[in-house]
Amino acid sequence: MQNDSGFTFVLFGGTGDLAMRKILPALFEAHKGGMLADAGKIVGIARDSYDRAGYLAWVEQHVRAHVAAADFDESVWQSFLNRFEYAALDLSRRDDFVLLRDMLKELPAAVRVFYLATGPSLFVPTCRALASVGLNAGARIVLEKPLGYDLASSNAINDAVGEIFAEEQIYRIDHYLGKESVQNLLALRFGNVLFEPLWRREWVESIQITIAEELGVEARGDFYNQTGALRDMVQNHLLQLLSIVAMEPPHAIESDSVRDEKLRVLRSLKPVQRSEISKVAVRGQYHAGVIRGNPVPGYASEHGVPKDSTTETFVALKVEIENWRWAGVPFFLRTGKRLADRVAEIVVNFRQVPHSALGGLPAGQNRLVIRLQPNESIRLYCQAKQPGEGWNLAQVHLDLAFDQFFKEHRMEAYQRLLLDVINGRLALFVRRDEQEAAWRWVEPILDEWAASPLKGPKPYAAGTWGPAAASAMLAQHGTCWLEEEN
């Protein structure tokens, strides 16, 4: 559905990698689908001294490779480029922001969005510069992760930005929350009576949440070495997914109703005692190995990474939620680079039947597997009788493959989230108190690892599923990761 309100989308970092690979392709898909108002404008902002024609040439060169080629229409592409303006801007020069203000006055719009596709160190100076020329009034500001390095730095950024923009103006983006399958997780839970009675400790044995990547750190070695997997993936993506899986039914699918329930989960996470961290947290670092037949280097050999780095590229955690619904149910979280496959999934393992009247049960149990990537699907595993004589049971599954069932175009995560910003929908964005609760929970683990550099991360070969200690942690609870069952 097209948004009829005119908008101006101002993109700081307008020549950067994120803008080229994700943001502008997503806006093009929304444009192609007729979801953007005809009066909407996109203003690229960067230090480069382009004029408008030069910027369009840059977009032509770097964005077209990231848009779908199957039904590409040159006339649609050209009409998309007609939305663009460009402004060269130096953050240290107030006069540049005066010129930006004057440009935006010529682009009257009901909605003005400032998207900061920059490093977090530029968030506060950019917001202050916008406020110095009055551009904060009524605008929406989008902040990319990472928002800080720890709780203190996150609070410092939020405090400074919060002095300039009200909380309802701030959109902290987590692209995992924009995935179609995450929306379907909400629909599955709160649109069907079937699962709600089972979605609790009496019937759920354990839950696994995995985000695995085949890629290494690529050209981000210097950044990643200062960040690590716990900050890069757990504090935001994994804890957000956990909160959606475990939350109570919201009053409505509205911004604060959903975010209030997620916050209750994050505040119910059992605090991690530093003396127990070695039992509930595993960190690893990939060494050289082979992925899909191709040799790949170890982390310490990547560009920008010190040879003696102790930064973790893999994390596995056992998490508990201290409330009536989930008390005693372990949640196992896992993420890593250079793993055996690229996959993001949620596995809900239900308890075994208390007594089998049909004899021995085959390996496996009732479980629900929600695949977030690469192919979004939901699969329910159950037991069925094999054809023939006797009562031989086998595990079978019921599939909902979204790309086969729904023939409509499915939005990518960034497309949905950018449309939500333009339309003023906050439900899929992270509120400040959620972010604080997540940082507060992970900080003891960060502190303990920083205080114990000699212990370091456990090695694992690229192309495997991480260090053996991650499997041993689950074995202590009588379970295993999904891929190990087979």
Residue 90 known to bind ligand: yes
DSSP 223: H
Count Cα atoms within 13 angstroms, Cβ side, for 434. Answer: 31
With vertex at residue 336, the alpha carbon angle to CA 170 and CA 364, rounded to the nearest 5 degrees, is: 110
Residue 200 known to bind ligand: no
Residue 485 known to bind ligand: no
Residue 270 known to bind ligand: no
Of 453, 437, 441, 426, the closest CA to residue 142 belongs to: 426
Burial environment of residue 354 by CB neighbours within 10 A (0 to 12, 13 to 18, 19 or more): exposed
Burial environment of residue 153 by CB neighbours within 10 A (0 to 12, 13 to 18, 19 or more): middle
Residue 335's CB is within 10 A of a number of other CB atoms, namely 25
Residue 397 known to bind ligand: no
Residue 145 known to bind ligand: yes
Where are the strands (E) in 273-376, listed by range?
281-287, 289-291, 294-296, 314-319, 331-336, 343-350, 367-373
Residue 403 known to bind ligand: no
Q: Which of 66, 237, 251, 477 is catalytic?
A: 237
Q: Identify whether the C-beta of residue 295 lies closer than 8 Å to the C-beta of residue 462.
A: no
Active site (annotated) includes residue 251: no
Residue 47 known to bind ligand: yes
DSSP-derived secondary structure for 82-120: TTEEEEE--TT-HHHHHHHHHHHHTS--SEEEEEE-S-G
Instruction: Report the distance separating Cα 73 and Cα 356, nearest Å.
Output: 59
Residue 458 known to bind ligand: no
Q: Which amino acid is at 170?
A: I
At residue 392, the 3 state secondary structure works out as coil
The H or E element containing residue 141 is strand 140-143
* Cα dihedral across residues 119, 120, 123, 125: positive or negative: negative
Instruction: Report the distance separating Cα 145 and Cα 141, nearest Å.
Output: 13
Q: Which residues pair with 379 in a beta bridge?
A: 369, 399
Binding residues for NADP(+): 47, 90-91, 145
Binding residues for substrate: 175, 179, 213, 232, 337
Binding residues: 47, 90-91, 145, 175, 179, 213, 232, 337
Residues identified as active-site: 237
